[in-house]
Structure 1
Amino acid sequence: MEQTKQACQTAHIRWMIRRDMPDVLGIESDCFEFPWTEDDFIRCLRQRNCIGMVAECDGKVVGFMIYELHKNRLHILNFAVHSNYRRQGIGNVMMQKLLGKLSQERRNRIMLEVRETNLEAQLFFKNLGFKAISVLRDFYDDATEDAYLMQFRYQPSAEELAQPHNRITRMAG
């Protein structure tokens, strides 16, 4: 039985809540050969610096992302859009939400690992401006497979570059 593509006019991004877990687990098993378990999600989301977001379409959860907050970067741990809702901009809307959290002063980059066999994800992130910066040999526990470490660096706008920074200047007297 082949699944048909679903149309999504507008994706709404919000915080992940406990009752989203069945939908998130369904998307996870739809998208990945080696899916995270519910325990994996819960263990991750219980950490203070771990954030979960979902993309909703007509009240239905169709995508999610899990990321960690670090001092100067964000690290995407898990990111997926249900196969029936791909290529409609849902992943882009989720990423724009995340890219909006970057700034020159604080968190100025996003990092993630992508399986060497996941060409679709590699191209998705490359099209958003991510660059592969290194190969992580035999990265995964579930398979003998390398990962590409990909990074997006924040580029300040012309307005931000023109703004004087509130720096304390030393004056010799």
Structure 2
Amino acid sequence: MIRRDMPDVLGIETNCFEFAWSEDDFIRCLRQRNCIGMVAECDERVAGFMIYELHKNRLHILNFAVHSDYRRRGIGNTMMRKLLGKLSQERRNRIMLEVRETNLEAQLFFKSLGFKAISVLRDFYDDATEDAYLMQFRYQPTAEELAAPHNRITRMAG
């Protein structure tokens, strides 16, 4: 995500969310060292975006949306697969996010990718009295990773 993407990102944000982030919200977030912005382009237009934070052992999605004209084309799926590809057994092994209790479409989307609701965050939002579901995706090592020599204890001394 670069500066010239901001008008398109703001357009998607206001189109998708009743309680949209402002440009200042985006800028304040993206100025943080551990915050990353990603856009998906289609037909030379920004079709979707994602804002996430890097933490020591997890990624945290703060904002995610696909323009209504581009939904059901695999764009959100592609962005999420890219993020899931950043997980590993050794370092960041999970992705966390909060979803409004009324946003069934998002809940079903993330569930289809393997996210699970792990708790309810009561009265989570500042803009409305609404709960959120805390959802998590946990990295599952492949059979090859489990069989890798660095993971196997062959002998213990002492």
Question: Shorter chain as normaliser: what TM range?
Answer: over 0.9
Question: 2:101: which partner in 1?
Answer: 116
Cα distance, 1:165 vs. partner? 1.3
Task: Spell out, residue by residue over 1:68-125, the C-alpha distance to the aligned partner (whole angstroms, 9 max, x if none).
Answer: 0000000000000001110110000000000000000000000000000000000000
SS in 1 for 2:69: helix
Greater CA drift, 62-71 or 159-168: 159-168
Distance 1:19 1:132, change over 3 A: same
SS in 2 for 1:93: helix
Cα distance, 1:171 vs. partner? 6.1
Name the structure where helix makes up a greater proportion of residues.
Answer: 2
**Which ranges of structure 2 fall in alignment gaps of 5 or more residues?**
none
Superposed structure 1 runs of 4+ greater than 3 Å apart? 166-173
TM-score between the two structures when normalised by the length of structure 2: 0.96
CA distance, structure 2, for counterparts of residue 76 and residue 163 of structure 1: 30
The CA RMSD measured in Å over matched residues stands at: 1.6
Cα distance, 1:170 vs. partner? 8.9
CA distance, structure 2, for counterparts of residue 74 and residue 170 of structure 1: 35
CA distance, structure 1, for counterparts of residue 41 and residue 156 of structure 2: 54
TM-score between the two structures when normalised by the length of structure 1: 0.88
Cα distance, 1:172 vs. partner? 4.3
CA distance, structure 2, for counterparts of residue 130 and residue 82 of structure 1: 22
Distance 1:163 1:84, change over 3 A: same
SS in 2 for 1:113: strand
Task: Give the paired residue count.
Answer: 158
